[in-house]
Every structure is written in C-alpha cells, then in structure tokens.
C-alpha cells in the first residue's frame, strides 16, 4: 500500500496527486528523518526482544532430554530427582552436577542465550561477587552474584513498560482535563486552573516517601502515585490548544450547523489539538524512565529484588571498583534516553506546521 | 532610465531548491514611485525582501546595483550599513513590526543612535520631530506611548517615521495599507506621497490593490508566478494592458450582476428582521472598581434592519463598527436585546426551534484557511450538516447530496479525481471558499450570512466567488446578509445597504441611492476612498 502510493506519486507527481491525510503526511515526514526513524526501529526491536526476555535470558533450559524423556523446564517445574539428584527441590540447572548429567550421551539441554534469570544467583561463580565480566557472565555479576546482563535486560523491560503505562495514563487524564478546561472555558476553566495550582504544589517526593513507608512498595503503587501528578503538564498544553481551536472559524461553522458540544469536540477540536500530545510522547516516556530510575536509586521505588536500572546504579555507586555494573547500566540508560530523544525530535519536526513538505 | 538608483537584473530566489522568482529585472530611478503588483504567491514580497537579504532561508542569485554597489554581493556587515540608512522598509502589520516593550519614541531614537551616532537626547528630539512630520497629534506625548496605546493608523505612521529616520533614498513598502481601514488607507497613502516628495526618495510599493497603484505610483511592474509579465508607466499599463494577466487583473473589479427576484419570492416576508437590536459585551473595568463590577461595551446600538427574501442586504463599515457583531447576532451565538425575527422564529426558544433556525441560517466566513478543519476530508466537511439535519439519509444518499452541493459550487470529481477523499490543504483559497459555501448550502438554508466572504482572496478569485454567489442567489432564491468593508463588493452584490459606524447605523437604503447620493459624511468618505 505504502510502496504503491509512493511509486504512484513518483511516476506522476503533478497530474495525479495522491490524497494523504495530515497524519499520514506527518508520518512520511517522520520517516524522512533517518535518525528519528531508525531510533524508532531500534527501540521497537529492543522492546520486543525484552518482552521475550524469558526466552533470551533464563536459568532454565528451553528444552531438555534426559534418559529418553523430554522436558520443557522453562514452563514446567522439574524436581532435581528427575535428573538424578537427591532432593525434591526445583532443579538448579547451573549446578555442575546437573550439567554433567546432561553431558552424558543421549541427554542434552538447550539453554537460552544467556543462562541466567535476573534472580539467579550464580553459586558456582569462579570469582567472588561482584565478579568482573567473563565468559560465564558477559557483563559480570552484581554484589549478590546475579548476572548483570540479565538484570539489565529485565530492568529495561520494566522501565519501558512502566514508562508506557505512566505515559498512557498521563495522556488520557491530561487530554480529558485539558479538553474540559479549554472547551468550556470561563468559570470551569478558572476552577480547574486553581485546582491544578493547589494540586501541583503538593510535595510529590515527600508523599512518595510517606506512602512507601505506609504501604508495601510495589510497581503499581508507584504508578498510581506518579500518575496522580503526571497529567498536569500535558493538560496545560491541551487546554491551550482547545482554547485556540474552539474559536476558529471551522468550529463556529460547526456550531452554526447545529452540532452538539460533544460532536464538535470529537470531530473538530480534539483531532486538531493532539499535535502537542503526540510530540511530547517520547519526551514523556524518557521522563518517566528517569523518574523510575531516580526513585529506585533513592530506594523509594520498586520492591527489593525487582530488576531495576536505578537499583543497579545504586549498586554501582556502592561498589565503585566494580566498574562493569555502573558502566553497563549507564550505557543502557543513555542509549534508551537517546533513542527516545531522537524520536521526539523527529516527531516534533514532522508535526511542525511551519515546515512545508516537499 | 539612465539614472537608476536601484537596478535589478536576473533576480532569482529559491527556497529549498524550489525557485519562486525566476529572474526578474526592474529599475527604480531616484525619487520615483514604482509599484510591484501581483496576487499572493506571485513572489512580489519575496523579491523585495531578498534585496536586503531579509527573506529567511532563501537562495538568491542575480544582481541588484544600488548606488554602484551590488547589494546581493555585499557581506552581511556591509549590508547592515545599507539597511535602515540607505534602504528602509515598512511592513503590512505595524502591530507585529513594532516592539511592544518599548515606547515608539525609544524605537525611533534607537535607529538614529545606531545609524547616525547621535546622542540620546538629540535622538529623542529628532524622533519627536519625525512623529510630527508624519502627522501624529501631540508628538511629544505620543513618543512616550507604547504600540498598543496607538490606533492602527497611528502605529503605521510611527512605523513610517521610524523608516524615514535616517532619510533613506529608497523605501520598500510591503502592503503598507492592507491592514488598515479604507478611510485610513487614503490618509496613509497621501502621507507617503507627501513624504516621498519632500524627502525626494524612491519608493518601491508592493501591493495587490490596483486602486492604490493608480492613486500612488508612477510606474508599475506586474508579477505573475515569479515573472514580471509587464511593466511601464501606470497610464500605459492600465490604459492599454498588453499581457493577458494584466488585463485579467484590471478586469477583476467585481461586476454588478443582480436581478430583482421573481414576484412570488419578492412578495414573501423578510427572511430576517431586527428592531432596535442592541448587543453589549462585558469588559473589564480599570482600577479597583473593576474587581467588583464589569464595564459594558455596546457593540451594536439600536439597529433596525431587514433582509428581504431573495435579495441581499449589504452591511458596510470599518473594523470595530459592529458589522460582524450584527452578523453573529443574526446567526445565533451572540445574545442580543431587541426583537430579532429569523424566518418567523427567534433564537433561544428551546432546542427544537433553534435547530429549525439553524437549518434556515447558515454562514460563510472570511478566512478559507481557518474555516475548514484540516483533518477532515471534503466529504466529511461538506456532509456535516446532514448529520444533524437529515439524519434519515443513508450513507449513499448523503454522498449524493454532497456531490450535488459540490457541483453547485463548481467542484466536480472530473476536475479533482477523488474529490471526496481529499483534505482541505490540497485546495487553493478560492476552492476552499467554494467548499465552505457548499457546506453551508447542503442543508438548503434560506439566509446565508456572508462575513467578508472575499476579503482573504486574491482579486481575480474574488470576482469568481462573487459571481458564484450571484448565480446561487438567482437559482435558489437565497437571501444574503453580506458583511464587508469593501464598497466595490457591496456595489456588485447588494440590493439594500446599511452603513455602520461605531455600532450605529448611519445610513441605509437601496444600494444605488446610498452609494451614488450619500447623505452622511462618513458614507461619502467611504465611497470616495474606494473610488
């Protein structure tokens, strides 16, 4: 479809102009920005890979064959006795004894690319933790002997998922509140603005500290708390767009035709007010990732044991000599934020009404 | 021609490899008034701006000899010496061209300090003298005013004073009167003419207004699509235009083509009738009293009018005269006092009557770019009224009605393949205005409120749109309430006319009577300004 449209446009640019919606033209402009477009591609690939983290980095083999029988340890819980061990406990597949069993003829185990889960403690490491990068642990281990690469992969996933959820909630709340203020204006706007001023002067960080003391810290608690305060910036932009668009002639014409408020918002004002929302998406995501990271760094974020970039930075700070922890976490963080920023820049240019498209 | 002050040869301007000015030549002798005429997009403004390299992001080639120097080959530093001192510029919109944070005296004095190195006190004195020269009353007091405290005409005078501060030898005037009211236009133009004579400077006037050219310029160059298609003295170009485009421009003055409606239609009661209509706005009051109560501004004062069936009532006036307010009151969104009857009903009588009235009264706005939502297709835009007023139609029937309405305004699928699926940005200003008319007509209203329907359009397009409106009136027996500042448009379109000034109707009657034998002074000024 896309290829057909562009080849048609190339063949007869003037005589048969292909009719494109404004959103589609913005997408074409975005694609023309190679840095932004490839950032989107790389980021999407990384995100999809991290969604399948269990298949890439896990301490359980994907499939195993032992004495003529097939196992899928990644989905089933196999006791050690099944593989000739002594106890009914879940198998530790990193145990040299178990690995010896699989090395016997007829048996085999297909391990994931990186044979560690984020929680896996490598009891059989050749060096004390934190251990520097080696053939076993590509990016070394942290102070509890957990594989840094595995923790980064899972940590990246949590960060991005968290950022997506926070951005989504923030956008929905921000658009709804901004739309109400901007469209109805007057007293509604005045009341809402005062409410926002009061609400935004609440000390967010103290609330987080208090709540993390009162409640069991969890990702969802963090999401709720950050969402409560995260919608206001966007709401202001949407409000301003609505205030501007509602007095344009096409809205007045729609009123003259007798459309209801809801129809006018849905058909006319909202679609024309979403430019700042879309432009800010990547920047909001990177802000959300940074917020989660810094809260984790301060120990106010996700519960202990959760793989998180902030917690790894905290470890890197404690163990300055274990450079592989801080350096690799830093690398992942910088790459993520940079990709998002490049996307944001490209998106902003693509939606800039002053930039005509060639 | 031998003693030319500025001589431009082969000027080409392009933006991101797209050429918009294709090698134009023109000369201005010292003390001469040259007008560069063309429609929007003809490249006239860009050509002038690029002489001082003020067009952003433009690639400029060619030659512009000014006083023995090629302006286009000067370094940025040398050019800065030329700007303001030898060649000055005035812009269309004085409100945005003046800095709102400084008083106008300061802004004029700054030019003098920078360019002539005089002391602050001397510069201020000179600034006051310049303001006096441009005819601003109480120049001493006015020099301490900020741009927002001045009226539109005074702002334009202040900008002229600023441009003339260093006695430039060439003044570039980019549509200097377009943003002003008609009566002010004449004054500013006369002022420019006087100053031009007393300073002996040359003026390059950029404009789309042929009346202005006739009144002001010695010679004229006509531009079309980045080419100068014709140039010569005003008398020869206007007297015997050689190029087809020049002829088209000169012929673009709207032509009167209205007929008296058929007996049956004419006998019907008026479509809209207002008796002592009054519209007031609350405005914030200054001082501590403003905390407790709002002041009131009366936009329309005791207006009586009636729009006869099948005919056009023209409302002329300057900005702020209340003519648009009157239109909006008729249209519904503004509440008014007095008796307003539209099609036998009145606004505010509940949702059902309002809906019936909406069907009877529709509107076409001035700016075709802001009156169509950029994110809807033509089908969605034009068919919108049917969603409210003809909900019983199926999708196919609706599409038929949309196509029919589009055909009535002269837009067909043959002309624009895939017309229904197109977006507004693919259409020109005139075509967009046709879409807006189709949107209003699809629900078959009896009264169409036309709020400056052609003011944002180029002259040749303006004529076409007016002809379309005239034809639609004849075919459908529509009534128009035509709001405009342009006496030519009223003369071409209206049966009856109201002249408004400062919220009041100063004169009304049949169009030929009012415009040919104006009784009120203000009407006389308006008519003279348009001639």
Burial code (b: 16+ CB inside 10 Å, e: under 16) for B68-80 equals eeebbebeeeebe
Predicted confidence at residue A9, as pLDDT, reads: 35
Q: Does A20 touch chain B (CB under 8 A)?
A: yes
Predicted confidence at residue B265, as pLDDT, reads: 67
Q: Does B353 touch chain A (CB under 8 A)?
A: no
Residue with tokens 């300061």: B106
Largest CA distance in chain A: 84
Residue B23 main-chain phi, psi, to 5 deg: 70, 75
Q: Where is average pLDDT lowest: A11-20, B42-51, B108-117, B128-137?
A: A11-20
Mean pLDDT for chain B? 86
The mean pLDDT value for B182-208 works out to 87
| CB pair distance less than 8 Å for B358 and A21 | no
Mutate to test the interface with B, among A14, A247, A249, A263 (most CBs of B within 10 A): A249
Dihedral in degrees, nearest 10, Cα atoms B46, B50, B51, B52: 120
Residue with tokens 């529509």: B478
Is a pLDDT exceeding 80 seen at residue B295?
no
Predicted confidence at residue B183, as pLDDT, reads: 78
Q: What is the DSSP string of B11-76?
A: EEEEETTEEEEEEEEEEEETT-EEEEE--TTSSHHHHHHHHTT-STTEEEEEEEEETTEEGGGS-H
Instruction: Count CB-CB contacts under 10 A for residue A72.
Output: 12
Reported as a single tens digit per residue, the pLDDT across B356-410 is 888 889 999 988 888 898 888 999 999 999 988 888 889 899 999 999 999 999 8
Predicted confidence at residue A212, as pLDDT, reads: 79
CA B397 to chain centre: 39
Question: Which of B359, B365, B421 lies at the smallest CB-CB distance from A249?
Answer: B365
Q: Does B19 touch chain A (CB under 8 A)?
A: no
The mean pLDDT value for B343-365 works out to 83
Question: Which of A21, A249, A258 lies at the smallest CB-CB distance from B423?
Answer: A21
Instruction: Name the residue with higher pLDDT: B291 or B194.
Output: B194
Nearest to B62, CA basis, from B228, B247, B248: B228
Distance CA B183, CA B194 (A): 17
Spatial contact of A46 and A156, defined as CB atoms under 8 Å apart:
yes
Query: Strand pairing partners for B497?
Result: B314, B509
Predicted confidence at residue B292, as pLDDT, reads: 72
Predicted confidence at residue B436, as pLDDT, reads: 93
Reported as a single tens digit per residue, the pLDDT across B423-458 is 888 888 889 999 999 999 999 999 999 998 888 888
Is a pLDDT exceeding 60 seen at residue B174?
yes
Spatial contact of B478 and B446, defined as CB atoms under 8 Å apart:
yes
The mean pLDDT value for B170-174 works out to 91
Q: How many residues does chain A have?
A: 358
Contacts with A355 from chain B: Cβ below 8 Å: none
Q: How many residues does chain B have?
A: 531
What number of CA atoms fall less than 13 Å from residue A67's CA on the CB side? 5
Predicted confidence at residue A15, as pLDDT, reads: 39
Spatial contact of B165 and B111, defined as CB atoms under 8 Å apart:
yes
Spatial contact of B24 and B223, defined as CB atoms under 8 Å apart:
yes
Is a pLDDT exceeding 60 seen at residue B1?
no
Distance CA B386, CA B126 (A): 64
Instruction: Name the residue with higher pLDDT: B337 or B495.
Output: B495
| CB pair distance less than 8 Å for B389 and A252 | no
Q: What is the DSSP string of B402-420?
A: HHHHHHHTT--TTTSTTGG
- What are the structure tokens assigned to B367, written together? 């700016």
Distance CA B231, CA B220 (A): 6
Beta strands B219-224 and B227-233, pairing class: antiparallel
Residue B335 main-chain phi, psi, to 5 deg: -75, 145
The A residues from 108 to 167 touching B (CB cutoff 8 Å) are none
Rounded to two decimals, what is the model's pTM?
0.79
Predicted confidence at residue A209, as pLDDT, reads: 83
Reported as a single tens digit per residue, the pLDDT across B250-289 is 888 787 877 777 766 667 788 888 888 888 877 777 777 7
Helix (H) or strand (E) holding A325, with range, is helix A323-351
Q: Does A254 touch chain B (CB under 8 A)?
A: yes
Q: Does A246 touch chain B (CB under 8 A)?
A: no
| CB pair distance less than 8 Å for A249 and B367 | yes
Is a pLDDT exceeding 80 seen at residue B26?
yes
| CB pair distance less than 8 Å for B371 and A253 | yes
- The tens place of each residue's pLDDT in chain A, 358 residues long, gives 344 333 333 333 333 455 778 888 888 889 989 999 999 999 999 999 999 998 999 888 888 888 888 888 888 888 888 888 888 888 888 888 888 888 888 888 888 888 888 888 888 778 888 888 888 888 988 888 889 999 999 999 999 999 999 999 999 999 999 999 999 988 899 999 999 999 999 888 888 888 878 888 888 888 998 899 888 889 999 999 999 898 888 998 898 888 888 999 998 999 888 888 888 899 999 999 999 999 899 888 888 888 999 999 999 999 988 899 999 999 999 999 999 999 999 998 888 766 554 4
Distance CA A151, CA A138 (A): 12
Q: Does B148 touch chain A (CB under 8 A)?
A: no
Contacts with A267 from chain B: Cβ below 8 Å: 373, 376, 380, 384
Distance between B518 CA and the closest CA of chain A, angstroms:
34
Share of chain B above pLDDT 70, in %: 98
Beta strands B361-364 and B447-451, pairing class: parallel
Is a pLDDT exceeding 70 seen at residue B348?
yes
Distance CA B42, CA B441 (A): 32
């Amino acid at each position: 479809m896309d290829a057909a449209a562009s080849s048609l446009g190339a063949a007869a640019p003037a005589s048969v102009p292909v009719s494109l919606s404004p959103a589609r033209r913005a997408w074409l402009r975005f694609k023309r920005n190679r840095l932004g477009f490839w950032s989107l591609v790389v980021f999407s690939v990384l995100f999809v890979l991290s969604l399948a983290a269990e298949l890439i980095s896990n301490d359980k083999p994907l499939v195993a064959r032992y004495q003529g029988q097939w196992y899928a340890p990644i989905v089933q819980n196999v006791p050690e006795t099944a593989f000739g061990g002594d106890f009914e406990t879940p198998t530790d597949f990193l145990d040299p004894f178990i690995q010896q069993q699989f090395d016997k003829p007829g048996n085999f185990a297909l391990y994931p690319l990186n044979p560690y889960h984020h929680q896996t403690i490598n009891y059989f490491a050749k060096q004390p933790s934190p251990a520097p990068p080696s053939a076993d642990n590509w990016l070394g281990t942290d102070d509890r002997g957990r594989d840094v690469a595995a923790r980064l992969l899972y940590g990246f996933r949590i960060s991005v998922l968290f950022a997506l959820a926070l951005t989504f909630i923030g956008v929905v709340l921000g658009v709804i509140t901004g739309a109400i203020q901007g469209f109805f204006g007057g007293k509604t706007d005045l009341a809402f603005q005062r409410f926002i001023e009061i609400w935004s002067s609440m000390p967010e960080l103290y609330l987080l500290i208090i709540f993390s003391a009162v409640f069991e810290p969890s990702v969802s608690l963090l999401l709720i708390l950050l969402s409560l305060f995260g919608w206001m910036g966007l709401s202001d932009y949407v409000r301003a767009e609505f205030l501007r668009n509602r007095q344009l002639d096409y809205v007045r014409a729609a009123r003259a035709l007798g459309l209801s408020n809801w129809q006018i918002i849905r058909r006319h004002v909202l679609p024309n007010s979403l430019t700042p929302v879309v432009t800010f998406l990547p920047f909001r995501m990177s802000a959300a990732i940074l917020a989660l990271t810094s809260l984790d760094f301060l120990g106010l974020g996700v519960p202990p044991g959760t793989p998180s970039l902030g917690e790894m930075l905290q470890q890197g700070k404690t163990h300055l000599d274990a450079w592989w922890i801080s350096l690799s976490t830093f690398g992942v963080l910088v790459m993520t934020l940079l990709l998002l920023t490049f996307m944001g820049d490209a998106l902003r240019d693509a939606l800039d009404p002053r930039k005509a498209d060639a | 021609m031998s003693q030319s002050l500025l001589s431009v040869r082969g000027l080409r301007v392009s933006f991101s490899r797209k050429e918009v000015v294709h090698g134009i030549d023109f000369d201005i002798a010292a003390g001469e008034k040259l007008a560069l005429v063309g429609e929007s997009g003809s490249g006239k403004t860009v050509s002038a701006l690029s002489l001082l390299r003020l067009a952003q992001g433009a690639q400029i080639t060619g030659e512009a000899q000014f006083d023995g120097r090629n302006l286009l080959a000067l370094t940025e530093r040398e050019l800065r010496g030329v700007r303001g001192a030898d060649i000055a510029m005035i812009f269309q919109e004085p409100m945005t061209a003046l800095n709102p944070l400084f008083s106008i005296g300061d802004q004029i004095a700054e030019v003098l300090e920078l360019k002539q190195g005089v002391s602050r006190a001397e510069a201020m004195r000179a600034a006051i003298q310049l303001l006096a020269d441009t005819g601003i009353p109480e120049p001493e007091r006015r020099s301490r005013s900020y741009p927002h405290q001045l009226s539109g005409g005074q702002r334009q005078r202040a900008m002229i004073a600023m441009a003339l501060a260093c006695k430039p030898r060439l003044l570039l005037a980019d549509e200097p009167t377009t943003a002003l009211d008609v009566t002010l236009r004449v004054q500013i133009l006369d002022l420019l003419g006087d100053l031009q004579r007393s300073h002996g400077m040359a003026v390059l006037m950029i404009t789309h207004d042929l009346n202005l050219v006739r009144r002001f310029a010695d010679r004229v160059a006509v531009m079309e699509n980045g080419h100068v298609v014709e140039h010569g003295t005003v008398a020869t170009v206007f007297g015997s235009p050689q190029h087809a485009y020049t002829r088209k421009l000169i012929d673009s003055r709207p032509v009167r083509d209205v007929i008296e409606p058929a007996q049956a239609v004419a006998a019907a009661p008026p479509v809209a009738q207002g008796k002592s209509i009054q519209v007031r706005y609350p405005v914030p009051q200054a001082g501590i009293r403003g905390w407790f109560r709002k002041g009131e501004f009366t936009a329309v004062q005791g207006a009586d009018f009636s729009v006869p069936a099948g005919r056009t009532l023209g409302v002329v006036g300057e900005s702020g005269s209340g003519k648009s307010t009157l239109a909006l009151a008729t249209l519904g969104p503004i509440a008014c006092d007095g008796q307003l009857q539209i099609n036998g009903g009145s606004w505010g009588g509940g949702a059902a009557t309002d809906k019936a009235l909406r069907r009877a009264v529709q509107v076409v706005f001035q700016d075709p770019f802001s009156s169509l939502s950029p994110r809807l297709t033509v089908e969605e835009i034009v068919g919108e009224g049917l969603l409210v007023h003809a909900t019983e139609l199926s999708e196919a029937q609706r599409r038929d009605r949309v196509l029919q309405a589009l055909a009535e305004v002269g837009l067909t699928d043959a002309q624009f393949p895939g017309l229904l699926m197109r977006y507004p940005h693919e259409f020109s200003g005139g075509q967009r205005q046709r879409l807006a008319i189709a949107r209003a007509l699809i629900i078959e209203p009896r009264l169409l409120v036309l709020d400056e329907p052609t003011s944002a359009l180029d002259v040749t397009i303006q004529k076409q749109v007016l002809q379309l409106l005239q034809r639609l009136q004849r075919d459908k027996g529509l009534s128009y309430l035509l709001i405009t500042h342009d006496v030519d448009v009223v003369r071409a379109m209206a049966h009856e006319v109201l002249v408004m000034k400062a919220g009041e109707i100063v004169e009304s009657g049949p169009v030929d009577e009012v415009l040919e034998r104006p009784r009120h002074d203000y009407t006389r000024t308006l008519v003279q300004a348009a001639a």
